[in-house]
Amino acid sequence: MQLSFDEERLNGVVSAPALPPFSDKVIAFLNDLSSVLMKTGRAFSDVVTFAYWCRKAALTKAKENYTDLDQRLGRGVVFHIAPSNVPVNFAFSMVSGLLAGNKNIVRLSSKPFAQVDIIADAIEKVIDESYPEFKDYIYLLRYDHSDEITAKLSAVADTRVIWGGDATIATIRRAPLKARANEITFADRHALCVMSADAYNAADNKDQVILKFYNDTYFSDQNACTSPRIVVWTGEGIEEAKKDFWDRLGQKTEKDYHIEPVQIVGKLSMLMEASTAEPLHLKTSLNAPKLMVAETEKIDDRLMEFKYNSGYFYEYSTQDLTDILPLCDTRCSTIAYYGDVADKLLKVVRDSGCPGVDRIVPLGTTMDFSLRWDGYDLIISMSRFIGVN
């Protein structure tokens, strides 16, 4: 697939008409794309997950969440800036824009990922063979940092979607948008995990619990904003649960996780920095190359300033879940949970009126993409409502 900037290609995207959300043609295209990816991408679990998400049955079910689609139309052109830390993220973003009825320009990360190439090739194959009209609705490109190209793409956008850290967002925002354009940003954020010790100790298959936590964290090397950085234990039998949990996770990482020396040094440096920071009170409960855990006696709002990846965790024990509130500011995207604590967590968040926490989800599902993501309803945000009186 040609991924370079092309002025003629851009003009074709701009001139194509917007579509109604969840159009039959879009769903058929995505279902065919899913079928291709199930064959060509089966070596990558994240590609298979994306393909499964694109099935007609799944999209039809997602469509049921919206009651006013007959009065909605895509906003026009959506310019997506994909992140560099989650390979398949660009595809979920692009499909969200397509489902909302838009033409989509996607700037891919310059980092080489086999998953990106597999999906891009599959899109080209399906368009060329069965859906030539969709060429103007999906424009994937890759370019080095260029203020000029970013400005051109931003100038035609009716919605701009930025996946990246705060610095990336600030840089992209130097390129102005049209007066009526809107913007969706996914900035630097963090996630928590709340574990019921009672539920863990009673679990029949603890290795399955470990696998869920591993998938939420190590699968993305904790680079995703939804990957938990701290494990909060609550309930009875906490010490027993903690020992078994970390022992099993350590065994899992020794077998399945690869780490580079620079990552180990980075974790050690962060632990030293965090350990000397006030008012944090940390003690190292586990210090292995592939799994490092520091226990804190108190949750302070500065704790996530000292987050790291590659298997670096904090942990805290409490019987009062309001203790987590210092971490539930605007930087907090997700709380994963295990055990019967979801309702308690929702009550803590709602009663406190805290500015953060957009998702409370079961352990093992923090990476599961939804059209309602990080506090945005992507279909609503990327379409416009046509009022009829």
Please give the share of the chain, as a percent, with pLDDT higher than 70. 99
Q: Once rounded to an integer, what is the mean pLDDT over residues 269-283?
A: 89
Give how far the C-alpha of residue 75 lies from the chain's centroid of Cα atoms, to the nearest Å.
23
Q: Once rounded to an integer, what is the mean pLDDT over residues 64-73?
A: 96
Q: Once rounded to an integer, what is the mean pLDDT over residues 84-89?
A: 88
d(CA 164, CA 225): 10
**Which one has a higher pLDDT value, 279 or 233?**
233
d(CA 136, CA 286): 53
**Confidence grade of residue 111 (pLDDT, cut at 50, 70, 90):** confident
| Rounded alpha-carbon distances, angstroms, from residue 155 to 6, 58, 139, 280 | 15, 34, 16, 46
Query: How many CA atoms, within 13 angstroms, populate the side-chain half-sphere of residue 350?
Result: 7
**Confidence grade of residue 68 (pLDDT, cut at 50, 70, 90):** very high
Residues 213-262 have pLDDT tens digits of 999 999 889 988 899 999 999 999 999 999 999 999 999 999 999 999 99
Amino acid symbol at 19? L
Q: Once rounded to an integer, what is the mean pLDDT over residues 55-72?
A: 97
Structure-token pair, residue 389: 């009186």
d(CA 95, CA 123): 11
Structure-token pair, residue 349: 């968040």
Q: Is the pLDDT of residue 2 over 70?
A: no
**Percent of the chain that is helix, strand, coil (3-state, to 5):** 45, 20, 35
**Confidence grade of residue 114 (pLDDT, cut at 50, 70, 90):** very high
Burial of 5 (0-12, 13-18, 19+ CB in 10 A): middle
Q: Is the pLDDT of residue 165 over 90?
A: no
DSSP 8-class letter at 206:
H
Q: Once rounded to an integer, what is the mean pLDDT over residues 194-198?
A: 98
Q: Rg of the Cα trace of the chain?
A: 22
Confidence (pLDDT) at 145: 83
**Confidence grade of residue 112 (pLDDT, cut at 50, 70, 90):** confident
Vertex 371, ends 366 and 373: CA angle to 5°? Answer: 50
- Predicted TM-score (pTM) of the model is 0.90
Q: Is the pLDDT of residue 279 over 90?
A: no
Q: Name the 3-class secondary structure at 198.
A: helix
Kindly report each contact of residues 355-360 with a partner whose C-beta sits within 8 Å and lies 24 or more positions away, as own/partner: 355/328, 355/329, 355/330, 356/328, 356/329, 356/330, 356/331, 356/332, 357/328, 357/332, 357/333, 358/333, 358/334, 359/226, 359/333, 359/334, 359/335, 360/334, 360/335
Residues 307-325 have pLDDT tens digits of 999 999 999 999 999 999 9
Confidence (pLDDT) at 1: 58
Alpha helices (H) in the chain, listed in sequence order = 7-15, 24-40, 45-53, 56-63, 89-99, 114-130, 147-156, 166-172, 197-202, 206-217, 238-256, 261-275, 342-352, 378-381
d(CA 197, CA 205): 14
**Confidence grade of residue 212 (pLDDT, cut at 50, 70, 90):** very high
What is the rounded (10 degree) CA torsion for 335, 340, 346, 347?
-140
Which residues partner with 272 through β-bridges?
none
> What separation, in Å, do the N-terminal and C-terminal C-alpha atoms of the chain show?
46
- DSSP track, 228-264: EEEEEEESS-HHHHHHHHHHHHHHHHHHH----HHHH
Average pLDDT over all residues of the chain: 95
d(CA 99, CA 20): 8
Structure-token pair, residue 188: 């630097």
CA nearest to 105, candidates 178, 188, 11? 11
